[in-house]
Structure 1
Amino acid sequence: MQNDSDRFFVLTGGPGSGKTTLIEALRQSGFATSLEAGRGIIRDQSAIGGAALPWRDRALFAELMLSWEMRSYQAAREETGPVFFDRGVPDTLGYLRLTDLPVSEHVMHAAERFRYARRIFIAPPWPDIFTQDAERKQTLDEAERTYHALVNTYTELGYELVPLPLAPVKTRLRFILTETGLART
């Protein structure tokens, strides 16, 4: 792997599609991973009574997501091997478009500057595992719209999307490791 973008792998998709479970499986397998911005921000903002929540101030929430993702990218540069991201900088762009918020020039610049491996893993909507909770308040319909917004965003930015199979986490894990050339024999 010659540069950071070659070793930085993004897992994206709508909420409730199994991304975070898969990221945890990758971490348990010894790979460096990043935490998902959305859940982290929601937890932090809820704990302090903050306004940067998607149901209170979507624009502020998006700014914090962008900042979180850029910081995750910078922290990953300190790792020597592959890093798996639970979403990436372009997800903020997709979120802004999904919610019909204006896309500032700095968000576009960030999405163009912070590059990941050309092949992005995307988790399709999966009604069988979709659930809502205190942090994930979106409906399945919103999850599907998020998925399509992310497909459009990453494609527009020149990435190739690799759909994850609707399969148990171990199967998904093997799939990702095979697709990235990281499968251990």
Structure 2
Amino acid sequence: MNNKKANNNWYVITGGPSTGKTTVVDILTKRGYKTTIEHARHYIDTMRIDGETVEEMRNNKKKFQLGVLDMQIEQEASIMPEDLVFLDRAIPDALAYYQFLNLDYDEKLLNAVKESSYKKIFILDRLPFQKDYARTEDEEEQKEIHRLIIDVYESLGFPIVFVPVLPPKERVDFVLNNI
């Protein structure tokens, strides 16, 4: 696509499942930075409260992806462009998940990606795979999603910084030294 120039002060923390995104974002929050939540997990938690199982949600892949995308779009629309913010994933991550799940892109996703803008993308290198209630992928699928996320952000022309595997606080220092 095109090489985008950011019209905001937003930084994305991303990578495949089990890369330590939430840990990095939590440390940034504790250090006083403005951050966002990851919407896939939030969507799962919200739907579980309504009585839906993770399996039921994941079986309707399109509904799940659209639910997460709607939350992400709403969240990004609520952030002031001048605010320095670290996002736990961003709208383009959905492109990678759509590819992984063999879903056709819909107009809402394509328009949201076209309008998206970020100062820099921090892609966290993979950590040893850990399964939890919200993750349904295995290690091979984790690797594939991670590769797709890299491909998506590279194709969109955003500046990317790869964050090596380090102790969590050192990873955060690495991110902050590269903004």
TM-score (norm 2): 0.90
Query: Corresponding residue for 1:98?
Result: 100
Aligned length: 174
CA contact (8 A) 2:14 2:21 kept: yes
What is the identity, as a one-letter code, of the residue corresponding to 2:87? F
How much does 1:77 deviate?
1.6
Q: What is the aligned-residue RMSD (CA, Å)?
A: 1.9
Deviating above 6 A after TM superposition, structure 1's stretches of 4 or more consecutive aligned residues are none
Which structure would you say has the larger RCO, counting Cα contacts within 8 Å and 6 or more residues apart? 2
What is the identity, as a one-letter code, of the residue corresponding to 1:66? L
| Distance (whole Å) between structure 1 residues aligned to residue 6 and residue 160 of structure 2 | 19
| Distance (whole Å) between structure 1 residues aligned to residue 52 and residue 156 of structure 2 | 32
Structure 2 counterpart of 1:9, from 8, 11, 19 = 11
How much does 1:161 deviate?
2.0
| Distance (whole Å) between structure 1 residues aligned to residue 178 and residue 172 of structure 2 | 10
CA contact (8 A) 1:51 1:57 kept: no
Cα displacement string for residues 159-181 of structure 1 (whole angstroms, at most 9, x for unaligned residues): 1221111001111111111100x
What is the identity, as a one-letter code, of the residue corresponding to 2:91? V
Query: Corresponding residue for 1:114?
Result: 116
Query: Corresponding residue for 1:125?
Result: 126
CA contact (8 A) 1:14 1:125 kept: yes
How much does 1:4 deviate?
7.0
| Distance (whole Å) between structure 2 residues aligned to residue 41 and residue 126 of structure 1 | 24
Overall identity of the aligned pairs, in %: 28
Q: Within the alignment, does 1:66 sit opposite 2:69 as a pair?
A: yes
| Distance (whole Å) between structure 2 residues aligned to residue 96 and residue 137 of structure 1 | 15
| Distance (whole Å) between structure 2 residues aligned to residue 88 and residue 50 of structure 1 | 25
How much does 1:75 deviate?
2.1
Query: Corresponding residue for 2:33?
Result: 31
How much does 1:125 deviate?
1.8
2:58 match: secondary structure:
coil
Query: Corresponding residue for 1:138?
Result: 137
How much does 1:5 deviate?
3.9
Q: 1:77 to 1:4 in 2, by over 3 A?
A: farther
Unaligned segments of structure 2, at least 5 residues: none
Query: Corresponding residue for 1:86?
Result: 88
Q: 1:30 to 1:122 in 2, by over 3 A?
A: same
Q: Within the alignment, does 1:77 sit opposite 2:80 as a pair?
A: yes
Query: Corresponding residue for 1:183?
Result: none
How much does 1:94 deviate?
1.2
Q: 1:125 to 1:138 in 2, by over 3 A?
A: same
Unaligned segments of structure 1, at least 5 residues: 181-185
CA contact (8 A) 1:11 1:120 kept: yes
Cα displacement string for residues 10-58 of structure 1 (whole angstroms, at most 9, x for unaligned residues): 0110111100000000000001100001100111112213488652211
1:151 match: secondary structure:
helix
2:104 match: secondary structure:
coil
How much does 1:105 deviate?
2.5
TM-score (norm 1): 0.87
1:176 match: secondary structure:
helix
Q: 1:156 to 1:4 in 2, by over 3 A?
A: closer
